A and B are shown apart, each in its own frame.
Chain A
C-alpha cells in the first residue's frame, strides 16, 4: 500500500504543480464568481469593470443583467454596439447596453425570448457579415444560455492560455491583487464592461500603440486574406434575411420599437474593402433588408462608411469598432432624421457639445 501511495504521489507532483499557478490566478481574478455576484459587486461599486479573459461571459452577463433591469432602452448586438453610453440618452428612461449579447443574427430573437425583456426602444446593430453567406456557413453556432463558471472548467480550458499569458507578461500577479475589477482582462488592463453595459477600452485609449490593430494593420491583413469578419462574399444569405424578418415580427407583435443600423468601418478600411471588389454582398444588403423595415415601419440607418456621418479614422478603436465619439455622431444623425426617436435621446445641442469635448479615442473614458 505504501509503495502504491508513494508512486501515486510522485505521479501527482507534476500535475499538481502545473495546476497550482493557474488555480491561484483564476481564484484571485474573480472569474469564477457567479453572474449574480459579479452584477451585485458592480452595483455596489459602479466604477468596477467586468472583463473576463478565461471564459466567454459576454452573452450570459448581458442576458442576466438585461433580465434584472428590463430597461426602457436596450442596445443589442455584437461588440459593434458597445460604445453607446447611458448619458447619450434621456435620463427619464432606464438604459442598458447589451452589446456582446449576441454574435449571430438568429440570436437576436433568442436573446429576447430567453430573457423575456420588453424594452420600449431596441437599438440593434446589423453587422454586415451577418448577411454574408460564406461567413454564416463558416460561423453557424447554436448558442445555449447555460453559463458554467466552475473552477474545473475554467482551469482545464485555460491551462495553456494562462501559461502563454504569463510568458508574454499579459498577466501581472501584483496587479491581480491590487485591482478591484472583476476578471483577468479588467484587472490587468482595465478593459471590460462598465455598469451601463458599455465597453471600456482602457488599454487602447491610454496607449493606442498597444492595440493589436494599431494603424489598422490587423484589419488590413484580414482584408488581404479574406478571413474572420472580412471573409469575401458575393451573395446575401437569404436565411439571415428570414431570421431578421422573424425577429422584427416578434418585436412588432410585442410593441417594441426597433432602430437598426449597419455599423461603421473606419473610412480608410471601408475604402480598402470597396476597392478590393470582394465584398459585393455588402452592396446588396440594404436592398434585401430595407423592405422588411418598411413592412414593420421601423428605422434603418446605413453607417457602414464612417465618413458618411462625419467620423474619421482617428476616432476608431480599430478597423471596425468606432469609439464613443463615433457613436455620438451616429446618434446625432438619428436624432436629426427621426423626431420620434429623438424623444429618447439627448437633444442635438447636448450631443453636439459632447462631440466637441471628445478629442478622439484617447478621452472617451
Chain B
C-alpha cells in the first residue's frame, strides 16, 4: 500500500479509530493490532512477501532469547548472533544481490575465455527488504553487545520489525529507541497528533508535488540523454537532486507523522541536507538512520577514525561502498558510494569533518556570501553524485555528465519545467525558513486563519498540481 494512494487514505483513519477507540484498553491487544494492520499494509503489495518478513523477525527474536540463555558463554552468544546475521544477510543476498553476483561472475569468467551459462533467479525484490532486515539486525547486535535486554514479548517484537509507517522505507529504527515504546501504554497526545498531521501533509507535498513533477522531466531526460541538449541535461541532474530528496524525505515525513498519530516517536531521517556547507555535514543530514546505522555497526567496530591514517581511509571507503551497495545491486551505486568517499576523505584527514554541526545562518534570515558559496558548491558536488546514482550504468552516467559540456547548450523547454520549478522554489523557501525545526511545518506561529490557509493551499496543491503518481524510489532498496 502506498502512502500516496486512496487505499491508504481509507486505511489510515480506520486503523487510527480502531487503535484509539477499540483496542486501546489492552496494551498487548493494541500491539497485536499493530502487527495485524502492518502485515495487511505490507501484504497489499504481495502477500507472499509476508513469509519472508515473518521469518526474519522470528529468527531475530529467537536469537535474542538464545543469547540471553547462554549468558556468560560469550563464544556461544557470538555464534548465535553471527548465525542470525548470516541468515538475514543471506535472505537479503538471495533476493537482492544473487543475480548481480551471478552475472558479474559470468562476465569475469568470460573475460578469461570460459563461457558458462550462469544461473539467474527470476524473483521479485520484496519491497523494503533492506530496511526491515537492517532493523532486525540492529536488535541482535544490540542484544549481543548488552546495549539492550532481549525481549520475551513476541508481539511487541513483531510490531517493532513490521511497524507499518516505517516498514518499507524507514527511518531504520534502532531497537533501543523503538522497541521500548511498545512496552509502555500509549496515551493520545493532541499536540503530537496535530504535529504528526502537519508532517504528513508536508511529506505528501514533497512527494506528490515536488518529486512526482520532477520525475516526469527526469525520466524523459535520463531516458534519452543522447538526444538532449547540454542545458537540459544540467536541468535534469538538478531536478533529480530535488526528486530524490522530495521522494525520500517526503516518505520519511509521512512515516514519522503517521507514527506520531499512534503515539510513537521515530528518529529524524533528514535534516535539510541541501543546506549543508560541506560533504561531511551533508552526510550528517541525509538519510540519518542509515548513516548512523553504518557508523555504529560497521565503522566504529572497524576502529572508526581512532586508528592509523591507512585504516581510517580503509574504513571510510568500506562504509561508503557498503552504503552504496546497500542501495542496489548495480555498480552505479557502488561508484556513487566511492565518489562520496573521495569527497569525504579530505575533510576527515584534515579533521574538518565536524566543522559544521550547527544550522547554517543561525539567527539570520539569509546566509553570508561565504555560506552561500559553500552550500552551492556542496549542492553541485552532491548533484554530480546523483547523476551516477540515477544512471543505468557507469558508462551512461559518464556520457550524461560529459553530455552537459559537449552537447549544444540549447534548446531549452521551459514549458515542461514550470510546475517542477515552482514546486522546488516553494520547497526551498519553506524549508529554509524552518531549518531549525524537526520538519518544515513544526510549530507554525501564525494566526489560525493563516495556518489553515497554509493547510488548504498544500491540500489543493496536492490535489491539483501533483505529477503523475509514481512509487517511492527508495522502495526498491
Contacts and interface: CB of A to CB of B under 8 A. Distances in A.
Interface of A: 1, 3-4, 7-8, 11, 14-15, 18-19, 134, 136-138, 140-143, 148, 150-153, 155-157, 159-160, 239
Given A141-B220, A142-B220, A4 B190 contact: yes
Given A140-B223, A140-B228, A150 B411 contact: no
Contacts of A4: 188, 190, 193-194
Given A137-B227, A150-B5, 15 more contacts: A1-B188, A4-B188, A7-B194, A14-B456, A15-B459, A136-B227, A140-B220, A140-B228, A142-B220, A142-B222, A148-B469, A152-B4, A153-B468, A157-B467, A159-B463
A156 B208 contact: yes
B223 A157 contact: no
Interface residues of B, number: 35
Contact of A138 (B4, B219, B413): B413
B223 A156 contact: no
Contacts of A14: 456, 459
Given A1-B20, A4-B193, A138-B411, A160 B464 contact: yes
Contacts of A8: 13, 197
11 contacts: A3-B190, A4-B190, A7-B194, A8-B197, A14-B456, A137-B411, A140-B224, A142-B223, A143-B223, A152-B7, A156-B462
Interface string B440-475: 000000000000100110010011101111000000
Contact of A153 (B224, B413, B455, B469): B469
B226 interface: yes
Interface of B is mostly: helix
Contacts of B456: 11, 14
B6 interface: yes
A213 B468 CA distance: 28
B271 interface: no
A137 B190 contact: no
A148 B5 CA distance: 13
B133 interface: no
Contacts of A151: 6
A343 to B, nearest CB: 39
B229 interface: yes
A150 B470 CA distance: 11
A159 to B, nearest CB: 5
Contacts of B4: 152, 156
Nearest to B208: A156
Interface in B222-254: 222-224, 226-229
A161 B226 CA distance: 33
A7 to B, nearest CB: 8
Contact of A157 (B13, B452, B469): B469
Contacts of A141: 219-220, 223-224
Interface string B186-203: 001010011001000000
Contacts of B462: 156
A239 B469 contact: no
Among A143, A151, A152, the one with the most B-chain Cβ atoms within 10 Å of its Cβ is A152
A15 B227 contact: no
A141 B452 CA distance: 40
A138 B217 CA distance: 12
Contacts of B469: 148, 150, 152-153, 156-157
A7 B468 CA distance: 30
B219 A142 contact: yes
A138 B464 CA distance: 26
Closest 4 CB pairs of A and B: A142-B223, A140-B224, A140-B227, A153-B469
Nearest to A9: B13
A159 B465 CA distance: 9
A159 B460 CA distance: 10
A364 to B, nearest CB: 34
Contacts of A3: 190
Nearest to B17: A5
Nearest to B197: A8
A24 B68 CA distance: 58
A152 B464 contact: no
A58 to B, nearest CB: 16
Given A15-B459, A141-B223, A157 B20 contact: no
Nearest to A153: B469
Contacts of B194: 4, 7
A239 B226 contact: yes
A55 to B, nearest CB: 9
A140 B464 CA distance: 26
A4 B469 CA distance: 29
Contacts of B20: 1
A14 B351 CA distance: 54
Contacts of B224: 140-142
A155 B193 CA distance: 28
Contacts of A137: 227-229, 411
A134 B188 CA distance: 60
Given A11-B455, A152-B4, A19 B463 contact: yes
A252 B316 CA distance: 53
A2 to B, nearest CB: 10
Nearest to A1: B188
Contacts of B219: 141-142
